A and B are shown apart, each in its own frame.
Chain A
Amino acid sequence: MQDQFTRRDALALGVSAAALAVTGASAQQSRIKVADVPAPDFKIESGAKLSMLRPVKFVQPDEDIFRGNAKRFTEKTGVEVKVDFVGWEDINQQTAVTSNSGAGPDLIIGFSDAPHIYADKLIELTDVADYIGKRYGGWLTMAQRYGKRHDSNAWIGIPFGASAGPLIYRKSVLQSVGYDKVPEDMPGVLELCKKLKAAGKPAGFALGNAVGDGNGFANWILWSHGASLLNEKGDVIINSKETVNALGYLKELYPTFIPGTTSWNDVSNNRAYSSGEISMTANGVSLYFSMKNDPATRPVADDSEHQLLPKGVAETAPMGGLCLNAMVFKHSKFPNAAKAFVTYMLEREQYEPWLDANSGYWSQPLAAYEDAAVWSGDPKVKLFKDSMKSKFYTGYKGPISQASGAVNADYVLVQMCASVATGEATPEAAAKEAERRARRYYRRS
């Protein structure tokens, strides 16, 4: 057993080394289109030194290449950069402490809403965003949403990538009930789920307290019916006729799920899908990779396809994403060096190998990078390249704020859905309760 693991590990190492070699080679003949835009001169402060935090890697090459890029920045500019990798569950708290105490790292790559929460502690990065945007085909919709202050063109965050959770399904099972892919209309989805249930291979979506999967599912159900938590001004409008419709739909959909999804957390659907208990769920690309890399579940991975979440009445797939968002603090003594660093990391020579090294876990915020080699590799990963084209985000359609993150973290929408699905509340009562809870979080904004 021990031998087997070492051999597999050695193999994985070999593969990642090969990937490095490939990406290294492709850097010379990159397919990324670069516009000739004069680079801004950030006038790096003399004796500048930077320290930064970012979330830990999905895969080892992520960290290796990121560190390598930072090292080359040091060689080129003489600015030393200290990069620390922080656990995902800690980075929000560390960002809070940094911004409150006015001490600590110069810049942090945090998650989605962080720059909006600490906007008054950050320097504006509009010059960086303008240059990079013009150079690489423009910022994608989700990047603009997370980067810019609400209703303005001032950039307070610089998105580095996003990770989304589309559908993943078993091709063979869908074919056995007469489908090639999942229908785009919600009644069609219901019909399919009924057939999957009848075939003994039901669908399953998290309705438990699962921050990622639960919220992803609840948002899908709402957005695909035209409902949303907020309007553009940020008023809570969850208690609407659209929400009630969406919940009515869910009431019909839920009995087609495998039993027990109300207690699912973020890994439950991965386990149920990998073991073949369910034939359809929604998840990030990590599920596919973990099945692909394990010989025991390799057949399941080979039989799987990804598809963007069905649209329903929405124009684009109603799918948000977790966004890596860089911010520079006012307390930094070297803001220009920090800007130069952020810019440097998003330039093709650095960003493309990094994107490729992540093999699809993160997708680019800039249009030009859709030609990166990673998206022409495994065809099953290809659709993740459009993750940041979505106009949906946590707290859609209002301003991004601490409250939108809090509603997410407190499972307000997930529990609204779950209480209707289990018959504990009527759609009307559940929507009203969600409104009450959301209003509490939005009372200050």
Chain B
Amino acid sequence: MALTTATAIDQVAVRTRRPNALARLFDNKLFLIFVCLTPAVGLLAVFLSYPLGLGIWLAFTDTTIGRRGVWIGLENFEYLLSDPLWWNAVFYSVLYTGVATIGKFALGFWLALLLNQHLPFKSMLRAIVLLPWIVPTVLSAIAFWWIYDPQFSIISYLLVDVLGWRETNIDFLGNPWSARFSLIAANIWRGIPFVAISLLAGLQTISPSLYEAAMLDGATPWQRFRHITLPMMMPILAIVMTFSIIFTFSDFQLVYAITRGGPVNSTHLLATLAFQRGIASGELAEGAAIAVSMIPFLVFATLFSYFGLGRRKWQQGSDNE
């Protein structure tokens, strides 16, 4: 018995004294960091960095679908700068993002404030509000495509045939400006739930004691909104706005399904123009260049909402220090 115990202790001692190579390897902190990070880095490299890198590289070549390209430097970008259609897409992308974001935030914030009140069927209402966001974009795009149809629009039908307020159908998508605003309206409709629900979550984190204190001091509802709600909401507003701007600026489905960039290219966003040139027309490199040209806009928008709206002093509720 004693002997066995001694042997066992001996063995343990040996093992502690001279751990085998594998065990030592796994004890090594550097190695562990490397092993644990590899899958994540690998996934990021394969699914994020590679496509992005490839896209950027393509933008500097003259690749077409079916033909390997060669490096041509900035030629694609030079052409785009001289291409009125690209400028047109830049203009509309900025307009679309700007107007739609303002619309979404104004209506979404308002909706969030309403939903934050004590209403009957509160949870149900909140669930319903999410519907436009849940429906796949292509489906809602097809619905809007019908709503805006020059011949079979429900709105035209109501105005012309039911109410008799108009003589002719409304040509929503037939001329540039009405097509542009019709698409913006569709985008706002689709984007409101995301903004409303995110801001509602933010509203619920504001401590009621702040409002109580303000009410004791005799603050009006507007003052409470201006000096409590808004400053407290700034961090979440900044994040939600960043996301919203990115989604809107890089929107594709609504425009592609409803107008395909028409009439006469007036509603092309950079994303749809990139697809149109790169895939439909086969000029892969030019399409990639258009997509790459979106990056500076997105970086600027992100930095703006992050640093512009997310400043710490705003978060702390004081105006200027």
Contact = CB atoms under 8 A, between A and B. Distances in A.
Nearest to B172: A263
A100 B66 contact: yes
Contacts of B79: 440
B263 interface: yes
A415 B265 contact: yes
A264 B281 CA distance: 20
Given A260-B174, A422-B175, A410 B280 contact: yes
Contact of B168 (A207, A259, A424): A259
Interface string A397-408: 000001001110
B173 interface: yes
B150 A418 contact: no
B169 A441 contact: no
Contact of A263 (B152, B168, B173, B280): B173
Contacts, number: 100
Contact of B277 (A99, A117, A268, A410): A410
B267 to A, nearest CB: 10
Nearest to B79: A440
Contacts of A258: 150-151
Interface string B84-121: 11000000000000000000000000000000000000
B262 A263 contact: yes
B259 A259 contact: no
Given A208-B263, A258-B151, A260-B174, A96 B65 contact: yes
Contact of A277 (B66, B151, B175, B280): B151
B68 interface: yes
A118 interface: yes
14 contacts: A92-B65, A99-B66, A208-B259, A209-B259, A259-B174, A260-B151, A260-B173, A260-B174, A262-B262, A262-B264, A263-B172, A402-B66, A406-B281, A407-B281
A419 B262 CA distance: 11
A118 B64 CA distance: 12
Given A100-B68, A440-B79, A263 B263 contact: yes
Contacts of B176: 424
A419 to B, nearest CB: 5
B151 A402 contact: no
B251 to A, nearest CB: 17
A345 B149 CA distance: 44
Nearest to A277: B151
Contact of A441 (B148, B276, B283): B283
A275 interface: yes
A263 to B, nearest CB: 4
B68, B174, B259, most chain A CB atoms within 10 A: B174
Chain A binding surface SS class:
helix
Nearest to B68: A100
A263 B150 contact: yes
Which 10 A-B pairs give the minimum distances between C-beta atoms?
A: A260-B150, A263-B173, A209-B260, A262-B263, A96-B66, A406-B281, A410-B281, A209-B262, A409-B280, A409-B281
A1 B261 CA distance: 38
Contacts of A118: 66
A265 interface: yes
B171 A260 contact: yes
B65 A265 contact: no
B65 A418 contact: no
B179 interface: yes
Specify which of A96, A99, A263, A415 lies most central, judged by the most chain B CB atoms within 10 Å of its CB: A263
A181 interface: no
B282 interface: yes
A118 B151 CA distance: 42
Given A263-B259, A402-B67, A407-B281, 18 more contacts: A95-B66, A100-B67, A117-B66, A208-B260, A209-B260, A259-B169, A259-B171, A259-B174, A260-B169, A262-B262, A262-B264, A263-B172, A263-B179, A406-B283, A409-B282, A415-B262, A419-B264, A441-B281
A322 to B, nearest CB: 16
A154 interface: no
A418 B151 contact: no
